[in-house]
Chain A
Amino acid sequence: MTCREVAELLSSYLDDELDPEAHGLVEAHLQTCRHCNAVLEELRQVKSALQSLPVLEPPPELHARIMGAVAGAQAAQAEVEELETSPKPGRLRWKLPSLRRGGFRRVALALAACLVIMILSSAGTLFWARRYDAPLTSKGEADRSMGVPGLEGEQFFGMAEMPSGVEGEAIQRSGESGAEWSGEDYFTDAATAGIERKLIRRARLTLEVSQGGVDDVSRQAIHIVRSYQGYVESSSMSVAEGSQRSTAFYMTARVPSEHLDLAIDEISVLGRVTQEDIAEQDVTEQYVDLEARIKHKVQQEQRLLQIMGNANTVGELLQVEGELARVRTEIETLKGKQNVLEKSSAMSFLSVNIAEEGSRRSSPSYWGKIWKAFVEAWQDLAMFLARVAPAAILLVAGFFLVRRVMRKPGNG
């Protein structure tokens, strides 16, 4: 193998992406060629320089931005889907008239007439729709307040009035089922010590509020979170420019677990709840396990301290000290993990999504849908005609010219 051939393969060789045969050949060449070895070394340095690039943490607002945008898009998508399922104007079918004598002219005339009508009427619709659209959207609010009674809203009002004893009950219940671990020896003292169940709760709430209300409601939601000694981890407000402007708000917050339900209830009544889910993850087992391991390690630490007291030589002392340091690090790590669990279960995750009702327009009337489809169809058609018009006019003019020129000799 020549140096040139090898040079082509060195990068793949470096990445271990060569088939065994080529790999062997390159390896053999490298045994003898200093030059190629030097090149390989340089390539390796390039690779390791790139490999050692640090992984950068994205700015903290990235997550909220993404989720805000996605939530906004989901709302917009719902609107599109609704439009797609709404009735579309039926497809027109007609038979082409026979193109024998006279047919051409009739077709051309009819087409020209259609063209004129279409251009005029679509321009009219476009103009009219523009003028009409503004009052239509602002009227929408009145429609909604009549059409959609606050069904969910009332339900959640009911829940909000429930006594706060609900959580207490949940914890009691957890005490009963704690028995399933009692067979394991480390659990018994923990159980007798009356350890409560560690639950990590994640709640997600999607609200719809009236148009323009996102700003206000989001502020109230943040206020509610804070009033329960919670805090907002990240929040974002995004404005989607679609067929109409729609604002969406997204936040992730942490709320003390015992207040989570109350906070949800209070936020729920700020708008129409379209989605609410709460997921619970039971980490009691992990928690107890960590506790037992910490206890074990602490005992080990005590023993090592004893041993250190009895150590005779410096060598022994150093050995024990090294061991002691290791055990202490482990204890710290375990405690750190336990803290994380403790905090996660003490502070529930709550993400709130607030979108404008208008962006989804929950239930436009039947006629409203037809009107919308009608207007849009004409708008599209107007657009099409505007694009096509110049070519069409030229074509029609050309067609008549050609006809005239062709016919003259035939007639005369």
Chain B
Amino acid sequence: MALQNEEALVERASRGDLSAFEALVRAYETKLYNVALRMVSDSEDAMDIVQEVFLKAHQALPGFRGDSKFSTWIYRICMNASLDHLRRRKKAQVYSLDAPVEFSDSEVQRQVEDPVDSTEDLVEAKFLGEKLFAILDDLEPHYRAVLILCDVQGYSYQEIAEILDTSLGTVKSRIHRARNILRKLIAAEQILPSYVKQDGRRDEA
């Protein structure tokens, strides 16, 4: 089946061609579903988010000028929707963690110290990656966002910066921190014995 040119599809879809839009939906629904799923860890919520993303995209498409790539654009919508969703969920649950969540470059220690309740999920998770994400659930959503884009989706730092609408430096430091948190958690939680047996050192100098 001939692969249609994405730009042409976007162009047609922005003129109201529903079948072109449908082709774009087909091309992106699985990817976006996976991104949303990793962000909110709930299939039903992820479906809601993806539906919302395509609704928004459909609405905003006539104004889409092609300054960025379509994929960057729609990933950005998806990330914003996921982050929004998490924010709302947080509010709805009235999480009274003693400190408000800061979204720029917030402290990590405070939130890391209690990953205990997710350890039960860990037992069931098949993949180490999923265990890690279960831990990430307790972390700053932005850390999860960068790791999803970088490791799971394979985007470059530059692209991630565009998608999250932030600077390259922020992306770099977020990835650095997020990975280090996971690395230390792995050691501390002894999720993987093989990690710890590297001479019992848990904290680097």
A residues in contact (CB < 8 Å) with B? 3-4, 7-8, 10-12, 14-15, 17, 35, 38-39, 41-43, 45-47, 49-59, 62-63, 65-67, 69-71, 73-74, 77, 200, 202, 204, 206, 275, 277, 279, 281, 283, 344, 351, 353
Partner of B129, one of A3, A35, A52: A52
A-chain residues with CB within 8 Å of residue B201 when the two chains form the complex: 38
Nearest Cβ on chain A to B71's Cβ, whole angstroms: 16
> How big is chain B's contact interface, by range?
35 or more
Nearest residue (CB) in B for A67 is B22
Nearest residue (CB) in B for A252 is B22
B157 A277 Cβ-Cβ under 8 A? no
Q: How far is the CA of A45 from the CA of B59 in the complex (A)?
A: 41
Q: How far is the CA of A100 from the CA of B179 in the complex (A)?
A: 71
Q: A66-B54, A69-B55, A74-B58 are in contact. Are A11 and B127 (CB under 8 A)?
A: no
10 chain-A/chain-B pairs, Cβ below 8 angstroms: A39-B183, A46-B132, A50-B133, A51-B154, A52-B127, A53-B130, A63-B26, A65-B47, A70-B58, A281-B1
Nearest residue (CB) in A for B157 is A17
- B119: CB under 8 A from chain A? no
A351 B22 Cβ-Cβ under 8 A? yes
A12 B195 Cβ-Cβ under 8 A? no
List the 8 closest pairs (A to B, CB-CB), nearest first: A50-B151, A53-B129, A58-B33, A49-B128, A11-B176, A49-B129, A42-B183, A66-B54
Counting chain B CB atoms within 10 Å of each CB, the highest count among A3, A10, A15, A51 belongs to: A15
Q: How far is the CA of A402 from the CA of B19 in the complex (A)?
A: 66
A11 B175 Cβ-Cβ under 8 A? yes
B residues in contact (CB < 8 Å) with A? 1-2, 16, 18-19, 21-22, 25-26, 29-30, 33-34, 37-38, 43, 46-47, 50-51, 54-55, 58-59, 127-130, 132-133, 147, 150-152, 154, 156-157, 172, 175-176, 179-180, 182-183, 186-187, 192, 195, 198, 201, 204-205
Classify the interface of chain B: helix, strand, loop or mixed. helix
B132 A50 Cβ-Cβ under 8 A? yes
Q: How far is the CA of A12 from the CA of B195 in the complex (A)?
A: 21
A204 B175 Cβ-Cβ under 8 A? no
Q: How far is the CA of A149 from the CA of B118 in the complex (A)?
A: 63
B-chain residues with CB within 8 Å of residue A65 when the two chains form the complex: 47, 51
A15 B129 Cβ-Cβ under 8 A? no
Q: How far is the CA of A200 from the CA of B2 in the complex (A)?
A: 11
A70 B205 Cβ-Cβ under 8 A? no
Partner of B2, one of A47, A51, A281: A281
